[in-house]
Amino acid sequence: MADQLETLDLNSYAALGDSFTEGLNDPAPDGGFAGWADRLAGLLAAGRPEGEFRYANLAIRGRLLDQIIAEQLPQVRRLAPDLATLCAGGNDILRPGADPDEVAERFENAVVALRESAGRVLIFTGFDTRGVPLLKHLRGKIATYNMHMRAVADRNDCAVADLWSLRTLQDRRAWSEDRLHLSPEGHQRVALLAARSLGLATADDPAEPWPTEHPHSPAEVRQENIQWAREHLLPWVGRRLRGESSGDHVEAKRPDLLPL
């Protein structure tokens, strides 16, 4: 984790969202998941007396925007953190027929409510999916949603972390094998971006180029795509058809503000 160069006047942080914020595919020492939000909390806590900074992570994989509003917003009212992060709506946008304008309107309603309970709020744009099979066809909808996110941030005095413009996240090494969730290094780069979006200087740069990698042949790429479809895409589609969610029976990993 990068060295911290300064501190912010924040003593507590609550993260809301879905699998992205829960930290899927970034293994933690306790056998669960860490993720960018845990890593951001570490950056914010660095240099402080032990136990002074408190952190909660309310995010649960598979959650849609309305579920996040219903389940997680009331918890933020109870916790009243100095900082809250909200990344939501991505699972809604992935659904057929989803209207990014309508999703963004519901998102802004959530931000307005969140601003009443948290001292500062950080939101995120969506990723650029230009190189992702199938999801690249949703790029226009995601771009439209992102324009709304920037407007929501302006109207509600929120910080915004621009994932779309972070080109290092377009490298396949930023993503885990399922191509839907970040790798540990991808989560670290998002944590650094989030910290900088809040005004915290970091020694490491989230836009630092990746080391040069030997390019894969077309045959290797095809084989990887076939294996990905078999192991990850088909099960994901199957859950959608059955009306199941990966977050069924999953609870928030850190529901209370606890010292790091």
Q: How far apart are CA 202 and CA 106, in angstroms?
A: 33
Q: How far apart are CA 180 and CA 236, in angstroms?
A: 10
Domain ranges of the chain: 12-206, 216-243
Task: Give 132-162 pLDDT, tens digit per residue.
Answer: 777 889 999 999 999 999 999 999 999 999 9
pLDDT of residue 3: 42
* Residue 73 scores a pLDDT above 90: yes
Candidate ranges 3-7, 63-67, 239-243; pick with highest mean pLDDT: 63-67
**Whole-number CA gyration radius for the chain:** 18
Task: Find the mean pLDDT for residues 198-216.
Answer: 91
Six-digit token string for 8 = 């912010």
Q: How far apart are CA 227 and CA 8, in angstroms?
A: 45
Task: Give 17-56 pLDDT, tens digit per residue.
Answer: 999 999 999 999 999 999 999 999 999 999 899 889 999 9
* Residue 208 scores a pLDDT above 90: yes
Confidence (pTM)? 0.89
Percent of the chain with pLDDT over 90: 72
Q: Taking the domain 12-206, which CATH number applies? A: 3.40.50.1110
pLDDT classification of 242: cutoffs 50, 70, 90: low
pLDDT classification of 249: cutoffs 50, 70, 90: confident
**How far is CA 125 from each of CA 58, 107, 141, rounded to the nearest angstrom?**
19, 12, 12
Task: Find the mean pLDDT for residues 107-135.
Answer: 93
Position 53, amino acid: F
* Residue 6 scores a pLDDT above 70: no
Lowest mean pLDDT among 61-70, 174-183, 232-241: 232-241
With helix as H, strand as E and coil as C, how does the chain read?
CCCECCCCCCCEEEEEECHHHHCCCCECCCCCECCHHHHHHHHHHCCCCCCCCEEEECCCCCCCHHHHHHHCHHHHHHHCCCEEEEECCHHHHCCCCCCHHHHHHHHHHHHHHHHCCCCEEEEECCCCCCCCCCHHHHHHHHHHHHHHHHHHHHHCCCEEECCCCCHHHHCHHHECCCCCCECHHHHHHHHHHHHHHCCCCECCCCCCCCCCCCCCCHHHHHHHHHHHHHHHHHHHHHHHHHCCCCCCCCCCCEEEEEEC
pLDDT classification of 61: cutoffs 50, 70, 90: very high
